[in-house]
A = this chain, B = another copy of it.
């Protein structure tokens, strides 16, 4: 098995990892009950709160983003609870499955894959709920499967107005890529994963929990053990973990959060925005169609349609020729779209490289002329310049 030594990860996770972070990852582990590790838990927790723009608890779990979402749901809800689930992609779909598995009564608000959820639908249903039977609204902020970002700011304002319902939000590909002010938007439960904007390999996930979420957790009757966030909160009071955490990934997290603080939230968000614009504008210039509605493009991943060419073959060609890994379409979109990740540790060169690779490959397929590749690069460069 040949592991590529100069692979460029342009997928929405795992994302590229800075050398400094890899070095931290490769350090010899320490005891997870030691003072040294407690110090690490303390500082990473503080920096996670900074990243989430919150004073809420932010808990670190060893597991994937799915584990974090499940933890948020089962820690706060009870069997038979009525919840709204937003569904306009693969991940929204997954949260419906989780909710149903745990016996929740799901009111589904959906939208075509590639289009955003309509905040008005949330407003209508929440306003009608006089009896305050709806216990939570579960949705995905940035739909990784389609490249759509949902209007969380507006939807969360409707949830706030309801007063009773908790917001349980999958921010896996939005935290660290665009503005998610947890306290300002009063988001109760926010889940995310390490292999995304955090710039570290997969294995850790994060859940921020508001006071309101903790209050709800007292009544929760769903069976849970490893993913019971109450245990994590209890341990966090002594900067510890209920179960052995992935110590080396916490070393990496510490380094990456420091890098993020050095860069600054606003600069990080602007960088992602520039990259998103460069990729989407270049794609259009290359005569490709964006899969997601243009006013709702995710800051972290751009889904691109390709006609008369198998998207799977297309991205395989780009992998083999240029060692750039793109993501494919999921489920019914397989072969129809490819997705360019521009999330985390990505610089302007990565963006220019992926556009060149896509452009050149289209030229070789006689889909466009070389002139269009040049144009696309020019369009991208203009977007990259704007700060």
Contact = CB atoms under 8 A, between A and B. Distances in A.
A89 interface: no
A14 B30 CA distance: 7
**Chain A, interface SS category:** loop
A64 B226 contact: yes
Given A11-B31, A22-B27, A243 B66 contact: yes
A75 to B, nearest CB: 13
Interface string A1-31: 1111101010101101100001101111111
A203 interface: yes
Contacts of A203: 62, 203, 245-249
Contact of A202 (B13, B65, B97, B245): B245
Given A1-B36, A202-B32, A249-B246, A223 B70 contact: no
A32 B194 CA distance: 14
A103 interface: yes
Chain A interface size range: 35 or more
Contact of A25 (B26, B31, B65, B67): B26
A34 B14 CA distance: 11
A34 B325 contact: yes
A8 to B, nearest CB: 10
B36 A67 contact: no
A344 B187 CA distance: 44
Interface string A61-78: 011111100100000000
B14 A226 contact: no
Contacts of A240: none
Interface string A223-244: 1111100000000000000011
A29 B1 contact: no
B34 A244 contact: no
Of the listed residues A26, A97, A222, A226, the one surrounded by the most CB atoms of chain B closer than 10 A to its CB is A226
A98 interface: yes
A374 B221 CA distance: 59
A102 interface: yes
Contact of A28 (B11, B16, B63, B67): B16
Contacts of A224: 101
A150 interface: no
Contact of A29 (B30, B103, B201): B201
A70 to B, nearest CB: 5
A224 B17 CA distance: 32
A202 B325 contact: no
Contact of A223 (B30, B34, B101, B328): B101
Contacts of A244: 13-14, 64-65, 193, 195, 202
Nearest to A99: B225
8 contacts: A1-B40, A22-B26, A62-B62, A63-B243, A101-B224, A201-B246, A246-B246, A246-B249
